[in-house]
Structure 1
Amino acid sequence: MALTPAQSARYARHIVLKDLGGSGQQKLSAAHVVIVGAGGLGAPVIAYLAGAGIGRLTIIDPDSVSISNLARQVIYQEADLGQPKVEAAARFIEALNPEIVTQPLAQSLDESNVGALLAGADVVIEGTDSFPVKRLVAASCLDAKIPLVMGALGPFDGSLTVFAPFRARRSGGDYPRFEALYPRDPRPEDSPPCELVGVLNVLPGIVGTMMANEAIKWIAGYGEPLLGKLLIYSARTGESRVMSYR
């Protein structure tokens, strides 16, 4: 479907990009992205995918906005305190880009509903701090052959990767599964929540924006996704490194 004059004006900087252009923007406008987790990583993902003009955003998160969220989850305001995050996120999207179709789902994922909630997505983005949820989402995306962008945070470090085990490498063989990177869930003492160890407020924004880029590049078709690669960013040094895994 051709872009309207209003869309052409809104996305003008995308349209003049040689490797994205009008055709890439049309793909973004027709895409459906499911975002699991509307917290530290989900908030910047929501902001930049809404700005990019993703046609439909489904946001899944059971939590409500708390005062401690506001320092790093900047799509929320004090007026949103106590409100479901997904509803506050939907209001943010409506204010930024009212053309986007938003589906806010204030519920938890489990084996009984994950398949239905992720169905029909062009890309799934997972940014929770729960490894059981990450494993569950990864298994469902594998079954449905949906590419999965996944991120994680520490106090001063973050990481992201893309899973698409159903896609074959040019050199032969498939790209690795979730289990290749996380063969087992970490022990609670090895992965304490940010409530206990803290997290630098800018870190989720940096890593979450990178995650949004992975979804945009997959849909629009530019660049190389982080398939079989883990990007690790350090806020202490400002450096990123990429490691391969099989």
Structure 2
Amino acid sequence: MRPLVDPVSELDPDERKRTARHTVLKGIGDEGQRRLAATRVAVVGAGGIGSPAILALAAAGVGAITVIDDDIVELHNLQRQIAHRIEDIGVHKTESAVRAVAALSPVTVVRPVTARLDEANAQEFFADADVVIDTSDSFATRRAVAAATEALGIPLVWGAVREWYAQVTVFWSNPTDADPVVLNDLFAVGTEGDPPTCAQVGVLGALCVQVGGLLSTEVVKLAIGVGEPLLGRLLVLDSLSGRQREIPLRSAATAAASA
């Protein structure tokens, strides 16, 4: 997999010191870290999964993060939304995310977008992004995110958590050297049903942190062109049993063309 971005010419001296354990890591090195510094990520949702993903991206040295969320921090969020603090209750999650990132990586630029994403504005919000993370909790939003990333041809790192279970994958309508796989290949329109909300059935906070870490890892791999992204593979996690498995995903369009 080729890297998504070209590297910046050099790192800030303090940033080089802060990310020293990356630059000695096989597969990243100095050039990979400079690619991360050039990477622009849009994160849809600063909640249970988005919150730890944002922290991990900032800690990794990602250069710019657009955080899209129209909600405010509430007390019941703090069981899983680890970017936010007691003192953030009542403020917008985007504002809290700015504070959290600044405390981890002062050179990372955060663009807060305090708005509800929909089909009309999604492409505008993603216009400058190299990759998008979707952590939203409604299929209307997920469809809008998927449609925009497909139109722009940028990768979509996708995660969902409910109760003790989670799913993670990568969608990409225009990958550099693989078959395209998009949201519709996993959930054809009209097949997603009406799943219960986390408010109804609950969600394990520690699993949200785990999935946020997995999403940010996929971003790192895509940005610097290392390893195997989860394109064409759905990772399914069962935290109760401590097991995970993969389900292969295939493009419906590719399958039809080869039939």
TM-score class, shorter-chain normalisation, is over 0.9
- 1:180 and 2:185 equivalent? yes
- 1:95 and 2:103 equivalent? yes
Match of 2:236 among 209, 228, 232: 232
User: Who is 1:16 aligned against?
Assistant: 24
- 1:207 and 2:211 equivalent? yes
User: Who is 1:74 aligned against?
Assistant: 82
2:37 maps to amino acid: S
In structure 2, what is the Cα distance between the partners aligned to 1:143 and 1:175?
Answer: 13
In structure 1, what is the Cα distance between the partners aligned to 2:11 and 2:60?
Answer: 13
CA drift at 1:175 = 2.1
Deviations 1:92-141 (A, max 9, x none): 11111111111011100112211111112011000011111111111110
Distance 1:47 1:168, change over 3 A: closer
User: Who is 2:122 aligned against?
Assistant: 114
- 1:105 and 2:113 equivalent? yes
Contact 2:154 2:173 in 1 (8 A): no
Contact 2:155 2:175 in 1 (8 A): no
Match of 1:152 among 136, 139, 160: 160
1:232 maps to amino acid: V
User: Who is 2:38 aligned against?
Assistant: 30
CA drift at 1:72 = 0.7
Consecutive unaligned residues in structure 1, runs of 5 or more: none
CA drift at 1:203 = 1.0
In structure 2, what is the Cα distance between the partners aligned to 1:24 and 1:169?
Answer: 20
Contact 1:166 1:175 in 2 (8 A): yes
CA drift at 1:74 = 1.2
CA drift at 1:46 = 0.4
In structure 2, what is the Cα distance between the partners aligned to 1:98 and 1:3?
Answer: 13
In structure 2, what is the Cα distance between the partners aligned to 1:49 and 1:157?
Answer: 23
Consecutive unaligned residues in structure 2, runs of 5 or more: 1-8, 251-259
Match of 1:216 among 207, 216, 220: 220
State the identity as a percent.
41
CA RMSD in angstroms comes to: 1.1
Match of 2:136 among 128, 135, 150: 128
Matched residue of 2:58: which SS? helix
In structure 2, what is the Cα distance between the partners aligned to 1:195 and 1:94?
Answer: 30
CA drift at 1:169 = 5.0
User: Who is 1:86 aligned against?
Assistant: 94
Contact 1:169 1:175 in 2 (8 A): no
- 1:194 and 2:198 equivalent? yes
CA drift at 1:176 = 1.8
- Tell me the matched-pair count: 241
